[in-house]
A and B are shown apart, each in its own frame.
Chain A
C-alpha cells in the first residue's frame, strides 16, 4: 500500500504521497506514484504498482498527445471533465488487463487484493474555474469528488491527524507542513509507507509544482519542534 492524499486549502491544493513499493519480494523506495498531467493538474496512484505506473504514464501521454509526433491525429485534452473521463477509461482498461492475468495465475486472488486507486487533482481553468479533487478506485473507477480532503490507501493515521489539524481555511504553505507531518507520522507505524516524500502544490499563479528535495527537507526541519510538541500535548491530555 501507500499513503496518497490531496488537501484543499484556501488558495490551492496540496498533494502528497510516499515512494515505497511493497511486494512479495520485499520493498523498495523507488516508485513513481505521482505525475504532472498538465500545467494545473496532477495525478497520484496507490495499490497495484503495475496498474498505477502504466495508467498514470498513459494518462499524461494521451492528455498531452506526446506519442503523436505531428500533434495532429490526437488533439490535446484540455477540459477537466474530459481528463476525468480519459482517466477512468485508461484506469479501467489497464486494471482489467492486469487483474485478468493475475487472476488467471492465481484463482484465490480477489478484487480486494488488487485494490488500486487514483487521485486526480488540480485547477479546472476552462469549465468551472475551481480547484477539484477526484478519486477513482478499482474495480469500477467511478469518479468521486469530495469537497474537502481525500486521503487514500494507508489512510487511517492520516485521517486521525486530518480530523484534528485540517481546516479548509488553511493556505497552501500551512498545508505543506501538514502534508509532510502526515507522511512522516504514518511511516512511523505503517511499514508500507516510507521513502522519499513527494509533495506538490497546485495554485492559480504557479499551476502544478512538485516540491524539490531541498524544499521538502526544509519543511521537515521546520516541523521538528511540532513532532515534540504534538507528543507533549497528547501526553498531557490523554494520560490521566
Chain B
C-alpha cells in the first residue's frame, strides 16, 4: 500500500492503517515512540524515521503529551538537518484513557505549523473513498474492535478500487498499549471483511431495480 490510509479513534482507542516498512522512501510507516504512542509517517519517511531514532526514542518520553512536546522542541532545534526534506507525520496515542492526534509537517524547507488535531479520524486526503465509507459508518461509540473491522473493510475497498498492494500494517492503541496485527491476522480479517462485502453486494443486487423502495 503506498501512502497512508489513515487512522481512526474512538473514546478508548485508535486504529491506524499504514504501509509496510519495506515500502521505500515514499512509503508510509507507523513507528513506536513509547508504549502508548506512535508516529505515523505519510511523507518523507526516511527523514522522520531518522529524526525519531536520533532525537526522540532514546530520550524515552513518558506519554503522548511528553512525546509531542519533545518532538516540537527537538524539531525546531534540529530542523536544519531535515530542511531539504518535505515531511508529514502525526503522533497518535492514549493518555489518561483518552486518545489524541498531534500533527507535524514541513514544506518547502520550512517547518510551517505544529497543529493539534482533535478530529475523530485523520485520513490522507487523497483517499476520498476511505473518508466516504468512514463518514457513513463511524460513531465515537464504536469499540476499538469495531473500528479495526471498519478500517480493514475500508482497506479492502481501497485494494479493490485502487489496486493497492494487499500488504499493510494495522496498529491498535488502547489502554493496554500498542498492538501490531500480524500478517496472518490481517489476512484472516480481510477474508472476513470480503465475505461481508459479498453479502453487501447481494443485499444491493436489486437496489436500483425496485421502483418502490418502501416495499
Contact = CB atoms under 8 A, between A and B. Distances in A.
A160 B137 contact: no
Contacts of A154: 128
Interface stretch (A41-49, A67-75, A229-237): A229-237
Given A156-B129, A189-B128, A239-B137, A164 B204 contact: yes
Contacts of B208: 165, 170, 174-175, 177-178, 181, 226
A23 interface: no
Interface in A202-240: 222, 225-226, 229-231, 233-235, 237-240
Contacts of B161: 156, 159-160, 163
Contacts, number: 80
A157 B128 contact: yes
A226 B203 CA distance: 13
A225 B157 contact: no
**Which size class do A's interface residues fall under?**
20 to 34
A157 B213 CA distance: 23
Contacts of B98: none
Contacts of B149: 238, 240
Contact of A156 (B136, B150, B162): B162
A159 B158 CA distance: 10
A32 to B, nearest CB: 25
A160 B200 contact: no
Interface of B: 127-129, 131-133, 135-137, 139, 142, 146, 149-150, 153, 157, 160-162, 196, 199-201, 203-205, 207-209, 211, 213-214
Given A178-B208, A235-B136, A237-B203, 8 more contacts: A160-B160, A167-B205, A230-B207, A233-B204, A235-B137, A238-B133, A239-B146, A240-B149
